[in-house]
Chains A and B, each alone.
Chain A
Amino acid sequence: MKCALLAMLILSATTVHADPFGPTRDRNQVATFAFGLDGPAHITGAYGHTLRTDVLPGPITLGGQLRLPWSPDASDVELGLVSNLDAPIAGRWRIRPMLGLIYRRADGSLLDVDQITMDVGATAGFVAAGWHAGVTTRWDHALLTHATPDDNYRAMVPAARDVWTAAGGGTLRLGIEGGVTLGAIDLIGRVGAFRSERLAMIPGLPVYAELGAAFSF
């Protein structure tokens, strides 16, 4: 039973951080459950509702996501409003641009940081009946950051004070994606490079690797 639960968790580790929902299926709702590694190890869940209109070139999915570090605590959290559009390029070639507005909080050992970011990305590739593959990218850019030094840091650096800034900062991801479809479930894997938005190395691994599942219903 434990093994089955573990396997379920691993299989459900999703790609929601790089793309909230995966390829759109012929259903109206999608839920994703995940854990992954891109910088910190994290756990993610997302829910989206798919709309089909005559105005857009393909179905658009709108929803929300919750992302937590693998050892969750109330002070480190990410909440987002996310969307993707599943648009045809030619034949089975498709592109899924995504857009998100994310609130993120980190309670660090020196600073507490609250941040609102804009996330823009796209996944482009070949989508067959039972599988898909492509390249994927995502730019996460801070619109507003509030940093508060904690007491230990203030004790060392008395001049440190609260900062509000819109000066940016952010991350870039560029990778490849592949997946298989099993009924209503898409199992998806991604690997790629992870850098700051100015291509500096971010502490931790310089790559991300994710494996996940999206359930359409």
Chain B
Amino acid sequence: MIRLSLLSLAALSACSGLDDLVPGTVDDDSTLPALELGATKLHLRTVGDPSAPVVIAIHGGPGGDYRGMEPLAQLADQGLFVVLWDQRGAGLSRRHPCNEVEVDDYRRDLEAIVDRFAPPGRPVFLVGHSWGAMYATWFINEHPGRITGAVLVEPGGFTAAEVNAYFSRLLGTAAFDEGLNDALWSAQLVTPDDHVRADLSASAMFEATSKPLGMSTTDPMPFWRSGGVVNACLPVSAGAFDWTQNLAAQTSDTLFVRGDRNTVLRAEDVARLAAHYPNARVVTVPGAGHDLIWSHRDDFVALVASYLAAQLEGAS
């Protein structure tokens, strides 16, 4: 039903009446850095020496954007090539109808980005945040041995059952929270009947979960524009997934990072997820929540740089 109903978004007029509330996408603004990839066009920028080991940042959501992961651009100073991009239908990337943001589309997009920026033989690392950490794991599971290493920040789960458990904990915490009820109240006024409205609605819902996830209120993680259709459609198309079956083949070290202020993703939850990888290490950032990449950016970048240096040294 979700898919059918959101399919209608594709046929809607581009004008929602609320367009002045959101920044334009790569289709509206030709000055944005972008990459054409098949039928899609991604908001994407790279930093550093293209011949250096590659770090691909994968943002959260689904339907978030890479703005909050920009601190990773500092890794270029460590001799790395950093790829920052907004996923299909999210951030400032091209918008698509529901049937063009399914799991196969997402799988192909990441495969194309890895192949384009990291030809076989070049070290390549994935740094994923939240949904992005799940997306990275999915790629690793599909392509054992292709990735040199991964930093996974607060993934929700790697199987449908784990993700359902995550959302049960989140809803259990937030169900009677005033912030969520206020967001639902607002959702009646800006209904997701076109991309702009769906994006605004998704942004409001993301904001509504910031409290149980322990996110900063004084230095909130920035974003450009949420992807409402992706947020609604991609999880449905994933079905009863299990992205853990081949993880045993990922023999390099995998770094998990969590914040201790997140009441939904507790230490024991992350430990369970890390156990899917044969060589995983979990680091807890004190005083941080789900937005630790932004709120504790200096510590986080230093942690990632240290991990990458160790992996590259081991590989050589």
Contact = CB atoms under 8 A, between A and B. Distances in A.
Contact of B205 (A142, A166, A171, A203): A203
A106 interface: yes
A197 to B, nearest CB: 7
Q: Which 5 A-B pairs have the closest CB atoms?
A: A167-B17, A165-B17, A196-B191, A108-B186, A40-B184
A71 B177 CA distance: 9
B166 interface: no
A170 B181 CA distance: 18
A143 to B, nearest CB: 12
Given A71-B181, A147-B21, A163-B20, A169 B190 contact: yes
Interface string B2-45: 10111011001001111011110000000000000000000000
A115 B185 CA distance: 12
A165 B17 CA distance: 5
B21 A202 contact: no
B50 interface: no
Contacts of B192: 196, 200-203
A67 to B, nearest CB: 10
A134 to B, nearest CB: 24
B218 to A, nearest CB: 11
Interface in B201-254: 201-205, 207-208, 220, 222-225, 232
Interface in B124-140: none
A39 B185 contact: yes
Interface in A166-194: 166-171
Contact of A109 (B21, B22, B182): B182
Contacts of B207: 109-110
A167 B197 CA distance: 11
Contacts of A197: 191, 193
B187 A167 contact: no
Given A39-B188, A142-B189, A202-B191, A167 B18 contact: yes
Residue from the set B21, B182, B203, B220 with the largest chain A CB neighbour count within 10 Å:
B21
A122 interface: no
Interface of B: 1-2, 4-6, 8-9, 12, 15-18, 20-23, 178-179, 181-193, 197-198, 200-205, 207-208, 220, 222-225, 232
Residue from the set B8, B179, B189, B202 with the largest chain A CB neighbour count within 10 Å:
B189
Interface residues of A, number: 47
B5 A107 contact: no
12 contacts: A108-B182, A140-B188, A147-B190, A157-B21, A159-B20, A163-B18, A169-B16, A197-B191, A198-B191, A200-B5, A200-B193, A201-B2
Nearest to A193: B1
Contact of A108 (B1, B2, B18, B204): B204
Contacts of A104: 188-189
Contacts of A42: 185
Contacts of B6: 200-201
Interface string A65-78: 00001110000100
Contacts of B1: 201, 206
A198 B16 CA distance: 13
Contacts of A149: 21
Given A40-B185, A41-B181, 19 more contacts: A40-B184, A71-B182, A108-B186, A109-B182, A109-B204, A113-B186, A145-B190, A157-B23, A161-B21, A169-B197, A170-B191, A196-B192, A197-B193, A199-B4, A200-B9, A200-B191, A201-B6, A202-B188, A203-B192
A167 B16 contact: yes
B21 A163 contact: yes
